[in-house]
Amino acid sequence: MTKHENLIGGKWVSFGNYHDNINPSDTSDVIGSYSYGDASSVDAAVEAARAAQPGWRNATPQARHDLLDAVGNTIAARKDEIGRLLSREEGKTLAEGIGETMRASQVFKFFAGECLRQSGDLQASVRPDIDIEVTREPVGVVGIVTPWNFPIAIPAWKTAPALAYGNCVILKPADLTPGCAHMIAQILDECGCPPGVFNLVMGRGSKVGEALITHTGIDAISFTGSVATGHHIAEVCGKSRKKVQLEMGGKNPMVVLNDADLSVAVPACLNGTFFSTGQRCTASSRLIVEAGIHDAFVDAMTKAVTDLKVGNALDASTQIGPVVDEKQLNSNLAYVELAKKEGAEVIGGQRLELGQTGFYQAPALFLGTNNDMRINREEIFGPCGSILKVSDFDEALAVANDTDFGLSAGICTASLKSARDFKRQAQAGMVMVNLPTAGVDYHVPFGGSKGSSFGAREQGRYAVEFYTTVKTSYIYAG
């Protein structure tokens, strides 16, 4: 079986401690064996990154552009191979795996362009004969901690801006999905990334992650993952005054009004709730439906959900791949039981035995629910969605906003006024009109409000806020 090492200071390093990467569609398929590090591995990576920092921050925009552009091109050229690896290790369908791989390529190419578009402000002083320059500088060494559900896109959308703005990086991917992060490291190395500018340390959050967030040689932490881990990281980084950016969970509402076109609303809800096995932080988990369209919507949605084909991620006819692992599957199944206890009528949701050793679950629709139920308050992170019946727009908006989270919120309506009112009043970082709550562009900001996010936005030109710090220079030429 192929063994995979860590990238530290431009060298591939083994720490022993090999972990098998298992395919959730078929647990007899072992993708490879990955060497996991610990706190001393992080020390070595920080030393390498700090040594590389002065050179990289002074590298020309052209040199930074050329590296990121080459990485973007290489990922695109190898999209079928990388997409297949992604689907094997994470379980989303091959089409989704290749799509996510292309997204990573686009992100690297976008930030390649940003290398050439860095600028500052020149202002006149309020005092005579003085000019003021406001310029941006890299933060320094950035620790990146990523979840398993977008194993190539999230590492890409943190690594590419970090490097574009002159920072050095240490990436710790989720322990369930080291393969795609290793692939990014390999491609960066092959494309001529200078030693120490990008470092990969694989391993457990409790060891490698904890060492990164507590290390005094790291200036900033960008994290995507669960609320509990995010809160812990905020506390630790606050104490050591590290800059921190957190993208956490969601409990995203999708409102369907009486005037919605069902041929738009049903596919949007189906996609938003169940695609990628519901394992998206932007997934719609609360479908809030106005009374007049409720029964027709439930009929159409029930049929659409029951027709979804669950199967091996690599099978071309599969629409919904497996759940990522046994632990997540058991957690989802416990929520299905909870839904019944809380009085919901449950369609689907059972474990499926498909003649292969995988973690398959039928998509679950919870009918007749209300917003006080735990199934509507806690993030499930699986192929499960609730329907909540409401009497009018005002109640729909109130229910949509009655949550600790605020990542994405959607509405299906034919009314421009309702769409505008919802857009203005939804407490969420992203609002979707007649579109699924999940599925975003890469050149515009991504992030949420309330409990979903903390710190500067990710992606697009807004990424500059997190990955740089501002310097104000006064120049007297009298």
Q: Does 348 bind ligand NAP (CB under 6 A)?
A: no
5, 89, 247, 465: the active-site residue: 247
Neighbours of 328 (CB within 10 A): 23
Q: Measured from the CB of residue 112, what is the shortest distance to ligand NAP in angstroms?
A: 23
Contacts of 117 (CB under 8 A, 6+ apart): none
Q: Is 247 a catalytic residue?
A: yes
How many residues of this chain bind ligand NAP (CB under 6 A)?
Answer: 30
Q: Does 24 bind ligand NAP (CB under 6 A)?
A: no
Q: Does 145 bind ligand NAP (CB under 6 A)?
A: yes
Q: Does 175 bind ligand NAP (CB under 6 A)?
A: yes
Of 389-418, binders to ligand NAP (CB under 6 A) are 407
> What's the chain look like in SS3?
CCEECEEECCEEECCCCEEEEECCCCCCCEEEEEECCCHHHHHHHHHHHHHHHHHHHCCCHHHHHHHHHHHHHHHHHCHHHHHHHHHHHHCCCHHHHHHHHHHHHHHHHHHHHHHCCCCCEEEECCCCCEEEEEEEEECCEEEEECCCCCCCHHHHHHHHHHHHCCCEEEEECCCCCHHHHHHHHHHHHHCCCCCCCEEECCCCHHHHHHHHHHCCCCCEEEEECCHHHHHHHHHHHHHCCCEEEEECCCCEEEEECCCCCHHHHHHHHHHHHHHHHHCCCCCEEEEEEEHHHHHHHHHHHHHHHHHCCECCCCCCCCCECCCCCHHHHHHHHHHHHHHHHCCCEEEECCEECCCCCCCEECCEEEEEECCCCHHHCCCCCCCEEEEEEECCHHHHHHHHHCCCCCCEEEEECCCHHHHHHHHHHCCCCEEEECCCCCCCCCCCCECCCHHHEECCCECHHHHHHHHEEEEEEEEECC
* Whole-number Å distance between alpha carbons of 445 and 433: 17
Q: Does 148 bind ligand NAP (CB under 6 A)?
A: yes
Q: Does 205 bind ligand NAP (CB under 6 A)?
A: yes
Q: Does 70 bind ligand NAP (CB under 6 A)?
A: no
| Between 232 and 461, CB nearer to ligand NAP | 232
Q: Does 386 bind ligand NAP (CB under 6 A)?
A: no
| Between 73 and 226, CB nearer to ligand NAP | 226
Q: Measured from the CB of residue 119, what is the shortest distance to ligand NAP in angstroms?
A: 28
Q: Does 247 bind ligand NAP (CB under 6 A)?
A: yes
Q: Does 147 bind ligand NAP (CB under 6 A)?
A: yes
Q: Measured from the CB of residue 236, what is the shortest distance to ligand NAP in angstroms?
A: 8
Q: Does 209 bind ligand NAP (CB under 6 A)?
A: yes
Q: Does 253 bind ligand NAP (CB under 6 A)?
A: no
Q: Measured from the CB of residue 173, what is the shortest distance to ligand NAP in angstroms?
A: 6
- Binding part of the chain for ligand NAP, among 139-147, 163-171, 287-295, 335-343 by CB under 6 A, reads 139-147
Give the residue, chosen from 249, 322, 363, 410, that forms a contact with ligand NAP under the rule CB under 6 A. 249
| Between 209 and 363, CB nearer to ligand NAP | 209
Q: Does 232 bind ligand NAP (CB under 6 A)?
A: yes
281, 290, 412, 458: the active-site residue: 281
| Between 348 and 455, CB nearer to ligand NAP | 455
Q: Measured from the CB of residue 408, what is the shortest distance to ligand NAP in angstroms?
A: 9
Q: Measured from the CB of residue 290, what is the shortest distance to ligand NAP in angstroms?
A: 27
For residue 295, list its beta bridge partners: none
Hey, what amino acid is at 204? Answer: R
Q: Does 225 bind ligand NAP (CB under 6 A)?
A: yes
Long-range contacts of residues 416-421, Cβ cutoff 8 Å, at least 24 apart: 418/257, 418/259, 418/393, 421/393, 421/397
| Between 213 and 456, CB nearer to ligand NAP | 213
Please name which of 307, 290, 395 lies closest in space to residue 347, comparing C-alpha atoms: 307
Tell me, residue by residue from 274 to 293, as one string, x for binding to ligand NAP by CB under 6 A and - for no binding: -------x------------
Q: Does 213 bind ligand NAP (CB under 6 A)?
A: yes
Q: Measured from the CB of residue 238, what is the shortest distance to ligand NAP in angstroms?
A: 14
Q: Does 451 bind ligand NAP (CB under 6 A)?
A: no
| Between 140 and 147, CB nearer to ligand NAP | 147
Query: ∠445-426-266 over CA atoms, to 5°?
Result: 90
Q: Measured from the CB of residue 166, what is the shortest distance to ligand NAP in angstroms?
A: 24
| Between 36 and 393, CB nearer to ligand NAP | 36
**Catalytic center residues:** 247, 281
Contacts to ligand NAP by CB under 6 A: 145-150, 172, 174-175, 204-206, 209-210, 213, 224-226, 229, 232-233, 247-250, 281, 379, 381, 407, 452
